[in-house]
Amino acid sequence: EKAVNLKKDLAEMQEWMTQAEEEYLEKDFEYKSPEELENAVEEMKRAKEDVLQKEVRVKILKDNIKMLAAKVPSSGQDLATELNVVLENYQLLCNRIRGKCHTLEEVWSCWIELLQYLDLETAWLNSLEERVQMTENLPDKLDTVSDALESLESVLRHPADNRTQIRELGQTLIDGGILDDIISEKLEAFNARYEELSHLAVSRQIALEQQLQTMRETDHMLQVLQENLAELDRQLTSYLTDRVDAFQMPQEAQ
């Protein structure tokens, strides 16, 4: 009777494993929204816990069959053979569910990481847009234009590492068919804004550099002219002090 019950337990265990495999491993999942992906991750976590909890039952079965085999070798031998099959299938099921759970957790982590990088780069784009707007309608002052140019250039020196991460993470998820529509839309919007603002910022940078160069050249010319006028003033003052007649002066002084 004990052998019959153990045989029944083995059959039930095998049936449960078959159902678990069909439910958790053979279903085709489509992750078209973050909610679907998150639900799949939670479901696989529960599946992993459920399968691992059966480890106690498997161990009890194993111990009972060993005890029976010791007492009744003929009955125990057949059950031991069936037990080995169940043990192999159980271990395979555990490994596959662990693997799928780990994969889904990695995918979810990849999605969260992508959102974080997008948030960082969006904040940078907002800062860049603000700096570009600050360069409009500047007073025609050398210091003001110079400060605006330096401020804009400091933002433009932002490293490209985050954008590389966004591109690689997004492509990894899209290649796996995971959240591909949502990610494609987000990346398209981000890249379009990045290209537009980058071109605008570089154009403003070039314009400010040219404006600054012109202002410096003009400032230098005014400084030279001021020095020449000061020298001429000193010469004329000297002539007047010495009561030099105008017709005795050099032609340019006259």
Which stretches of the chain drop beneath a pLDDT of 70? 1, 27-29, 72-76, 243-254
Q: Are 100 and 24 in contact (CB under 8 A)?
A: yes
CATH number 1.20.58.60 given to 1-211: yes
Residue with tokens 């009561």: 243
Number of continuous H segments (helices) and E segments (strands) in the chain: 6, 0
pLDDT digits (tens, 9 = 90+) for 53-86: 888 888 888 888 788 777 766 666 778 888 888 8
d(CA 55, CA 66) in angstroms, rounded, equals 16
- Length, in residues, of the chain: 254
Domain ranges of the chain: 1-211
Report the pLDDT value the prediction gives residue 251, as an integer from 0 to 100.
59
Report the pLDDT value the prediction gives residue 61, as an integer from 0 to 100.
85
Report the pLDDT value the prediction gives residue 244, as an integer from 0 to 100.
63
Q: Are 35 and 107 in contact (CB under 8 A)?
A: no
d(CA 17, CA 134) in angstroms, rounded, equals 66
